[in-house]
């Protein structure tokens, strides 16, 4: 009977075994790297396909202001509407679905101007206020507008309303920062979203726009008094006719 000695793999003769392990690890690392790269590329391509074209639209917002002005170059004489909205408002999402594409095209064509007046009322008012989805998402938007990242800001807005049921109260600052980065936002804006820089400002903007509505409507009929979203106002009054037709109504008001 022949007895075969088991060789120690750490001995000199086991060098081939060790190199085989190294090779397997290296190949695995390469494969994982390819998978990660392809995953990032697929994500980038998918995001690019879903992005809206905002070419030609400019935005103006400075800290301390309660309004974000949206218009095309040379559209100073185009009719203008105030659009009050809240990222937690389901009716705001419905209005965006019904009129968002029309508004975008009218903005790009220089046919209208929009005074975007965001609110966070659905996070509560007064003593009942607690910063949540409305405040966090608006803070992210303000960071983008503060850095003139109009394309990223409008694409994030489009995403938040278009996917409202899926993302409501599920997005933290880091999630919003990654979305903004995907949309091509500047590094400074992305970091400010992560830091929650504009959380307090979001509440201040909202309070100002609530007060604006209340002041404008204090002498109006009872059913028009107060503040809510969504709301479209022209020259300080609710736009006439069907709200879902507000873009055409505004275009024809000139």
pLDDT for 145-170, tens place per residue? 999 999 999 999 999 999 999 999 99
User: pLDDT tens digits for 118-136?
Assistant: 999 999 999 999 999 999 9
**Distance separating alpha carbons of residues 232 and 250, to the nearest angstrom:** 10
- The band of 99, judged by pLDDT with boundaries at 50, 70 and 90, is very high
At residue 240, φ and ψ (nearest 5 deg) are: -80, 155
pTM of the predicted model, to two decimals?
0.83
- The band of 47, judged by pLDDT with boundaries at 50, 70 and 90, is confident
Q: Is a pLDDT exceeding 70 seen at residue 12?
A: no
Rounded to the nearest 5 percent, the helix, strand and coil shares of the chain are: 55, 10, 30
Share of the chain above pLDDT 90, in %: 80
Say how many C-beta atoms besides its own lie within 10 A of residue 164's C-beta.
20
Provide CB contacts within 8 A for 193, sequence distance 6+. 139, 140, 143, 144, 173, 176, 177, 180, 185
Q: Is a pLDDT exceeding 90 seen at residue 235?
A: yes
- The band of 13, judged by pLDDT with boundaries at 50, 70 and 90, is low
Q: Is 208 exposed, middle or buried (0-12, 13-18, 19+ CB in 10 A)?
A: middle
According to DSSP, the β-strands at 80-85 and 113-118 are parallel
Tokens 């559209």 -> residue: 75
Q: Mean pLDDT check: name the lowest of 10-14, 65-69, 180-184, 198-202.
A: 10-14
**Distance separating alpha carbons of residues 213 and 233, to the nearest angstrom:** 9
Please, are residues 152 and 185 in contact by the beta-carbon 8 Å criterion? yes
Q: Is a pLDDT exceeding 60 seen at residue 40?
A: no
Q: For residue 68, which of 103, 108, 112, 115 has the smallest C-alpha distance?
A: 115
- The band of 2, judged by pLDDT with boundaries at 50, 70 and 90, is low
Residue 153: both structure tokens together: 């800001």
pLDDT value of residue 48: 59
């Amino acid at each position: 009977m022949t007895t075969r000695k088991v060789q120690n793999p750490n001995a000199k003769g086991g060098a081939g075994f060790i190199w085989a392990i190294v090779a397997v690890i290296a190949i695995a690392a390469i494969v994982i790297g390819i998978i990660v790269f392809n995953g990032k590329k697929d994500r980038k391509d998918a995001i690019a396909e879903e992005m809206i074209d905002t070419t030609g639209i400019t935005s103006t917002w400075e800290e301390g202001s309660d309004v974000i002005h949206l218009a095309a170059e040379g559209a100073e004489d185009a009719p203008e509407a105030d659009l009050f909205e809240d990222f937690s408002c389901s009716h705001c999402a419905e209005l965006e679905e019904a009129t968002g594409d029309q508004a975008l095209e009218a903005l790009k064509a220089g046919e209208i101007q929009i005074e975007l007046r965001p609110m966070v009322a659905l996070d509560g008012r007064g003593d009942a206020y607690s910063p949540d989805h409305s405040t966090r998402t608006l803070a992210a938007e303000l960071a983008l507008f503060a850095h003139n990242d109009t394309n990223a800001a409008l694409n994030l807005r489009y995403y938040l309303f278009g996917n409202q049921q899926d993302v409501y109260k599920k997005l933290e600052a880091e999630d919003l920062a990654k979305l903004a980065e995907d949309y091509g936002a500047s590094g400074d804006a992305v970091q400010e979203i992560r830091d929650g820089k504009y959380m307090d400002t979001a509440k201040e903007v909202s309070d100002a726009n609530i007060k604006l509505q209340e002041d404008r409507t204090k002498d109006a009929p009872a059913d028009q008094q107060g503040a809510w979203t969504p709301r479209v106002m022209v020259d300080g009054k609710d736009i006439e006719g069907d709200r879902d037709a507000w873009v055409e109504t505004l275009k024809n008001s000139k």
